[in-house]
Each structure stands twice: as C-alpha cells, then as structure tokens.
C-alpha cells in the first residue's frame, strides 16, 4: 500500500445510492447468488439507504423489452426518488437524465449496485470515476452470470479505482459508532441476516 494512502470513509452526508437495472428479466440471469439471497441483499442495501437517508436514484434499461420492469419492492420503497427508465442506453451514464439526477444530489460518493455486474454496474461505475466521483460497487447487491464473470468485472473496476464493498460493510462504515443508534442499525441486520437476528434475541433477553 502506498504510504500516502488516505482512508476516506463513506459519509452519510456525501453518499448517494444508484440502483441500476434490478429488473425482473435481468434478475433471471443472476447465477452467482441464489434468488432468495440476492433479493435479500438488494433489499438490505435499500433499507440502509432509507435508514441513512441517502439520496437514491432508480433506473431501468429497455424495460418494455425482455429486461422487464423494476423490482416492485424498490418502486414501493422509493416512490419519491428519481426514476429514470432509459429507452435504450446500456450504460446508464450515457443517459442525460440519469447523470442530471446524480449531479442534483450534490453528493460525490456513489454507491452503485445493479444487474448485471459486468455491464450495468461496471459501465456507470467506470464512467463516474472518470467524471470525478468516488465510487463504491456494492458487490452482494449486484449479480451476474457466474463467478468468473463477476471476478473479471471486479478486477476491471478495481483497476480504475472503484472500491468493492458489501451491504453490511456499507452500513457499518456509514454508522461509525454503535452508540449512535443500537436498535436502528441492529434492526436492519436482524431483518436480513438470520444469525444476527439470533444475536439480537440474545441481547434483548439480557436487557
């Protein structure tokens, strides 16, 4: 590691969440996670975005075609968020309305998740890095055809400066200190991690 490295932490005051192409048709392509596990990871990230009050942008690609509609849970959770149904652009960053929505957040840290990892996540992530943003790919809320494709996509993004995180790490880095709100953060963890629910049951029993 370079001696001039600076650990620039995720900040709930400077981060925004981009949920790219979590669409019914595309979800069927994801093979590097089980369907239930992947859905859980997506909704965990969504819950974190709501909990930390992060600006969130939803976008779909060619949803009138085989890619299909956005996950209904995301539409319901972010009914007031910008929603950009792209008519054809594969790279979300090629859509002017999407980029305008990102700029309108005023945030410089972008958490990106989507389907598939090697296209719908990697392309806008690389474009955002080029545009001067600090980009974090949320790996477990993004999926693709298989692990070989996933790792190739991760390597490509990392080489450009994209940081790889999972939703649990995102939550912890944003929260900073348990004393900020034990119950709130633990509720997210318990709702999406069965083992953590057991932990919280034990914690509550001792109170």
Active site residues: 120
Nearest-Å Rg of the Cα atoms of the chain is 17
Kindly report the CA angle at 102 between 141 and 181, in degrees rounded to 5? 55
Identify which of 195, 192, 162 has the alpha carbon closest to the alpha carbon of residue 45: 192
Q: What is the residue-wise DSSP string for 139-156?
A: GGG-B-S-HHHHHHHHHH
Residue 121 per-residue DSSP state? I
Distance from C-alpha of 113 to C-alpha of 105, rounded to nearest angstrom: 17
Task: Kindly report each contact of residues 95-100 with a partner whose C-beta sits within 8 Å and lies 24 or more positions away, as own/partner.
Answer: 95/59, 98/57, 98/59, 98/124
* CB contact set of 40 (below 8 Å; sequence gap of 6+): 192
């Amino acid at each position: 590691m370079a001696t001039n490295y600076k650990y620039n932490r995720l900040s709930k005051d400077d981060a925004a969440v981009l949920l790219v192409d979590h669409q019914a048709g595309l979800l069927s392509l994801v093979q590097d996670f089980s369907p239930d596990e992947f859905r859980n990871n997506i909704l965990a990230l969504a819950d974190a975005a709501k909990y930390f009050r992060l600006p969130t942008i939803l976008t779909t690609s060619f949803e009138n075609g085989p890619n299909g509609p956005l996950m209904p849970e995301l539409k319901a959770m972010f009914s007031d968020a910008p929603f950009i149904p792209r008519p054809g652009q594969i790279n979300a960053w090629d859509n002017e309305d999407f980029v305008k929505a990102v700029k309108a957040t005023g945030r410089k840290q972008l958490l990106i998740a989507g389907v598939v990892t090697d296209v719908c996540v990697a392309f806008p992530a690389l474009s955002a890095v080029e545009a001067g943003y600090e980009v974090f790919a949320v790996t477990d809320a993004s999926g693709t055809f298989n692990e070989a494709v996933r790792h190739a996509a991760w390597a490509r993004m990392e080489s450009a400066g994209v940081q790889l995180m999972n939703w649990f790490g995102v939550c912890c880095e944003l929260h900073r200190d348990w004393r900020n709100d034990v119950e709130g953060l633990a509720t997210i963890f318990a709702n999406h991690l069965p083992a953590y629910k057991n932990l919280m049951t034990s914690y509550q029993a001792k109170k």
